[in-house]
Amino acid sequence: MKNTLHFGDNLNVMHEMPSESYHLCYLDPPFNSGRNYNIFLANSKAQKKAFGDIWHWDDTAIATRDAITHYNGRHPELIDVMENVSECLHGFDTILKSSGRHGDSMRAYLTFMAPRLAEIYRLLKPTGSIYLHCDPHASHYLKCLLDVIFRPENFRNELTWFKGYRGTPRKNRYQQEHETILFYSKTNAYTWNNIFSEYKDPDLKRYNKVDSEGNRYALVKRQRTNGEVYYGKTYPRGKLQGDVIEIPVLASTSKERLGYPTQKPLALLERIIKASSNPGDTVFDPFCGCGTTIDAAHGLNRHWVGIDLTVLALEPMERRLQERHGLQANRDYHIEGYPTTHQDAVLLAEQSPNDFANWAVTRLGLSPTPNSNDGGFDGTGKMLLWENRHVAETEQQKLPVIAEVKSGRSLTPNQVRAFRTAMQDQGAAIGIFVTLHPVTRGMRNLAEAEGFFEHNNKRYPRLQFWQINDSYFTDGTILVSLPWQIDERLKASPHHDSQSTLF
Ligand SMILES: C[S@@+](CC[C@H](N)C(=O)[O-])C[C@H]1O[C@@H](n2cnc3c(N)ncnc32)[C@H](O)[C@@H]1O
Ligand 1 atom with the smallest distance to the CA of 29 is 10
Which pLDDT value is given to residue 161? Answer: 96
Determine which residue's CA is closest to atom 10 belonging to ligand 1.
29
Choose the residue to mutate in 287, 321, 352 for probing ligand 1, maximizing ligand atoms within 8 Å of C-beta.
287
> Which tens digit of pLDDT belongs to each residue from 412-433?
999 999 999 999 999 999 999 9
Which pLDDT value is given to residue 311? Answer: 64
> Which tens digit of pLDDT belongs to each residue from 343-362?
889 988 887 787 788 888 87
Domains 4-49+125-195+243-336 and 342-490 share a fold: no
Q: Are 345 and 468 in contact (CB under 8 A)?
A: yes
What's the rounded Cα separation, in Å, for the pair 90 and 94? 7
CA 391 to chain centre: 31
- Tell me what the mean pLDDT of segment 314-330 comes to: 91
Determine which residue's CA is closest to atom 5 belonging to ligand 1.
289
Q: Are 321 and 295 in contact (CB under 8 A)?
A: yes
CB contact burial 309-342 (16+ within 10 A = b; e otherwise): bbbbbbbbbbbbbeeeeebebeeebebebbbeeb
What's the rounded Cα separation, in Å, for the pair 14 and 292? 20
Q: Which CATH class is domain 4-49+125-195+243-336?
A: alpha beta
Which pLDDT value is given to residue 194? Answer: 93
State how beta strands 379-384 and 367-368 pair: antiparallel
Largest CA distance in the chain: 97
Which pLDDT value is given to residue 446? Answer: 96
Does ligand 1 come within 6 angstroms of the Cβ of 313? yes
Looking at the chain, the whole-number percentage of residues with pLDDT higher than 70 is 86
Which pLDDT value is given to residue 261? Answer: 77
Which pLDDT value is given to residue 340? Answer: 81
Distance 50 CA to ligand 1 centre (A): 9
Ligand 1 atom with the smallest distance to the CA of 313 is 27
CA 17 to chain centre: 19
State how beta strands 430-435 and 22-27 pair: unpaired
Higher-scoring residue by pLDDT: 395, 264: 264
Burial of 227 (0-12, 13-18, 19+ CB in 10 A): exposed
Does ligand 1 come within 6 angstroms of the Cβ of 262? yes
The number of C-alpha atoms within 13 Å of 179 and in the hemisphere containing its C-beta is 19
**C-alpha dihedral (305, 306, 311, 315), degrees to nearest 10:** -70
Higher-scoring residue by pLDDT: 386, 236: 236
Among 33-42, 164-173, 330-339, top mean pLDDT goes to 330-339
CB contact burial 70-102 (16+ within 10 A = b; e otherwise): ebeeebeebeebbeebbebbeebeeebeeeeee
Does ligand 1 come within 6 angstroms of the Cβ of 9? yes
Higher-scoring residue by pLDDT: 338, 4: 4
425, amino acid identity = D
CA-based torsion, 47, 112, 318, 121: positive or negative: positive
Which pLDDT value is given to residue 470? Answer: 86
- Tell me what the mean pLDDT of segment 82-106 comes to: 94
In 151-215 the beta strands, taken as DSSP E runs, fall at 155-162, 178-185, 209-210
Does ligand 1 come within 6 angstroms of the Cβ of 292? yes
Which pLDDT value is given to residue 395? Answer: 58
Does ligand 1 come within 6 angstroms of the Cβ of 181? no
- Domain range list for the chain: 4-49+125-195+243-336, 199-237, 342-490
The secondary element (H helix, E strand) that includes residue 192 is none
> Which tens digit of pLDDT belongs to each residue from 202-247?
667 788 888 888 888 888 889 898 999 999 888 877 778 899 999 9
Among 14-18, 49-53, 133-137, top mean pLDDT goes to 14-18
Distance 497 CA to ligand 1 centre (A): 21
Does ligand 1 come within 6 angstroms of the Cβ of 51? yes
Q: Are 296 and 325 in contact (CB under 8 A)?
A: no
Burial of 344 (0-12, 13-18, 19+ CB in 10 A): middle
Among 470, 493, 469, CA closest to 314 = 493
Strand order in the sheet with 430-435: 367-368, 379-384, 398-406, 430-435, 463-467
Q: Given a cut of 70, is residue 267 above it in pLDDT?
A: yes
Query: Residue 392: which pLDDT band, with cuts at 50, 70 and 90?
Result: low
What's the rounded Cα separation, in Å, for the pair 438 and 17? 36
What are residue 285's phi and psi, to 5 degrees? -130, 105
122, amino acid identity = R
Does ligand 1 come within 6 angstroms of the Cβ of 309? yes
- Tell me what the mean pLDDT of segment 457-484 comes to: 84
> Which tens digit of pLDDT belongs to each residue from 29-63?
987 654 433 333 222 222 232 334 568 898 889 99
Helix (H, G, I), strand (E, B) or coil at 444: helix
Whole-model pTM: value is: 0.74
The secondary element (H helix, E strand) that includes residue 501 is none
Burial of 202 (0-12, 13-18, 19+ CB in 10 A): exposed
Ligand 1 atom with the smallest distance to the CA of 285 is 6
Distance 313 CA to ligand 1 centre (A): 8
pLDDT, averaged across the chain: 85
Q: Given a cut of 80, is residue 324 above it in pLDDT?
A: yes
Q: Given a cut of 50, is residue 396 above it in pLDDT?
A: yes
- Domain 342-490 sits in CATH 3.30.70.20: no
Q: Given a cut of 60, is residue 472 above it in pLDDT?
A: yes
Q: Are 195 and 279 in contact (CB under 8 A)?
A: no
Ligand 1 atom with the smallest distance to the CA of 307 is 21
Does ligand 1 come within 6 angstroms of the Cβ of 367? no
- Tell me what the mean pLDDT of segment 68-84 comes to: 94
Does ligand 1 come within 6 angstroms of the Cβ of 10? yes
